[in-house]
């Protein structure tokens, strides 16, 4: 029984790590797209 709990805890930790990495990747991509939008805007109007 204890071994199952350790395996479950490891699985939950791995899933949490995957979700955290995905959130970080999304934030980086959104920042990149905002930077591109601002760059395109200013290159047209300056």
pLDDT in tens, 1-46: 567 767 899 999 999 999 999 999 999 999 999 999 999 998 887 6
| Dist CA 22 CA 15 (whole Å) | 11
Buried/exposed 21-30: b ≥16 CB within 10 Å, e otherwise: eeeeeeeeee
| Dist CA 8 CA 38 (whole Å) | 45
Q: Where are the domains of the chain?
A: 1-46
- pTM for the full predicted model: 0.69
Q: What is the pLDDT of residue 4?
A: 76
Q: What is the pLDDT of residue 30?
A: 97
């Amino acid at each position: 029984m204890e071994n199952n709990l350790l395996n479950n805890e490891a699985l939950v930790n791995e899933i949490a790590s995957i979700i955290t990495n995905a959130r970080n990747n999304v934030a980086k991509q959104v920042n990149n797209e905002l930077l591109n939008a601002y760059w395109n805007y200013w290159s047209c109007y300056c």
